[in-house]
């Protein structure tokens, strides 16, 4: 019992230049016509019967022969199937004639885009987010594409057709790619948080969906290829093109981000204010201006208020007496 994993192989069966086969078909048609004409001028029943039988058989062959022609453009392929048996994949471009009893299923090997609509998923922290992707994919193994997934039943089969269902087959593959890309996107989103969790110092260096950039896109390509390799499809490029919190928590997360930004700004302002107060005290010491502890504390307090306030400070003039 042989059970081996099949893969795409080049077609090595009979193939004839289409123009030569077309000339030969015209010759056969001319001979067929001559045979039928000969029937009308036959001098005996034997000649009549022989010419009629040969003419009918040749006419049937002429009719069958017409179904062996097909054209193939660059980056297209035809999967050859002979009474249910895979015979190989034909990739030469041009005009050809093959065995008319061969079932020819045309596919395109050109790159195709997929712009997936954003879907709602939960990130690593359980937050609902909207995430979408754009990707470039193409067929890599025509055998797997045709026989490992049930795309033919979606596209519909037309026996002996080489062009009428090619677009339908590719649309079926695109539907398969779309479903698998959604699954890969959900898996990737569950591995990472949407954004940094600044409340935990240990998470500051963690990779996130928002900051991951090229690394997240590389992992997305890997996960897509893992899922699509079975179908003979290769993802050449993929990246996140939409990333946002879901509407139900977007406002709350925006306030959290704003609060984080305000705290960071305040820390910077306080750090600068303290350095300026220190500079002021050092400058007073260099000028031999002595202040007691109470006045020193009051000056530090006033400077910090002025430097850290959101609004311009209102000056207060002290009209008290000076002690000599």
Domain ranges, ordered by start, for the chain: 16-106, 112-245, 252-308
What's the confidence (pLDDT) of residue 306?
A: 66
Contact criterion met (CB below 8 Å) for 129 and 245? yes
What's the confidence (pLDDT) of residue 20?
A: 94
From the list 135, 119, 86, the residue with the least C-alpha distance to 233 is 135
C-alpha angle 243/248/254, rounded to 5°?
65
Structure pTM?
0.68
Q: Is the pLDDT score of 324 beyond 50? A: no
In which band, very low, low, confident or very high, does the pLDDT at 77 lie, cut at 50, 70 and 90? very high
Contact criterion met (CB below 8 Å) for 216 and 207? yes
- pLDDT tens digit sequence for 203-253: 445 788 888 888 999 999 999 999 999 889 999 999 998 888 887 765 666
Q: Is the pLDDT score of 133 beyond 70? A: yes
Q: Is the pLDDT score of 293 beyond 80? A: no
Mean pLDDT to the nearest integer, 38-66: 85
Q: What is the CATH number of domain 112-245?
A: 3.30.479.30
Paired tokens of 113: 């885009």
Question: Which DSSP state fits 257?
Answer: H
What's the confidence (pLDDT) of residue 161?
A: 42
Contact criterion met (CB below 8 Å) for 92 and 74? no
Q: Is the pLDDT score of 200 beyond 60? A: no
């Amino acid at each position: 019992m042989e059970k081996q994993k099949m893969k795409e192989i080049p077609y090595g069966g009979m193939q004839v230049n289409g123009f030569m086969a077309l000339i030969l078909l015209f010759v056969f048609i001319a001979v067929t016509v001559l045979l039928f004409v000969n029937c009308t001028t036959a001098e005996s029943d034997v000649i009549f019967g022989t010419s009629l039988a040969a003419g009918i058989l040749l006419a049937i062959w002429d009719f069958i022969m017409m179904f062996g022609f097909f054209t193939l453009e660059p980056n297209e392929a035809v999967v050859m199937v002979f009474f249910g048996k895979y015979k190989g994949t034909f990739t030469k471009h041009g005009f050809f004639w093959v065995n008319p009893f061969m079932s020819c299923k045309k596919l395109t090997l050109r790159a195709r885009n997929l712009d997936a609509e954003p879907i709602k998923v939960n990130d690593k922290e359980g937050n609902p987010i909207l995430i979408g992707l754009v990707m470039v994919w193409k067929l890599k193994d025509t055998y797997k594409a045709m026989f490992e997934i049930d795309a033919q039943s979606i596209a519909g089969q037309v026996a002996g057709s080489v062009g009428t269902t090619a677009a339908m087959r590719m649309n079926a593959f695109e539907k398969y790619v779309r479903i698998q890309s959604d699954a890969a996107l959900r898996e990737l989103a569950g591995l990472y948080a949407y954004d940094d969790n600044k409340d935990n110092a240990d998470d500051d260096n963690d990779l996130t969906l928002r900051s991951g950039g090229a690394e997240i896109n590389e992992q997305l390509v890997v996960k897509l290829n893992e899922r699509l390799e079975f179908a003979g499809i290769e993802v050449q490029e993929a990246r996140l093109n939409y990333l946002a919190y879901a509407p139900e928590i977007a406002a709350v997360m925006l306030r959290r981000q704003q609060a984080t930004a305000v705290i960071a700004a305040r820390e910077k302002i306080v750090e600068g204010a303290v350095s300026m107060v220190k500079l002021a005290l050092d400058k007073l010491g260099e000028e031999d201006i002595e202040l007691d502890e109470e006045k020193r504390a009051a000056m530090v307090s006033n400077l910090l208020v002025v430097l850290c306030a959101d609004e311009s400070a209102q000056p207060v003039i002290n009209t008290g007496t000076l002690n000599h």
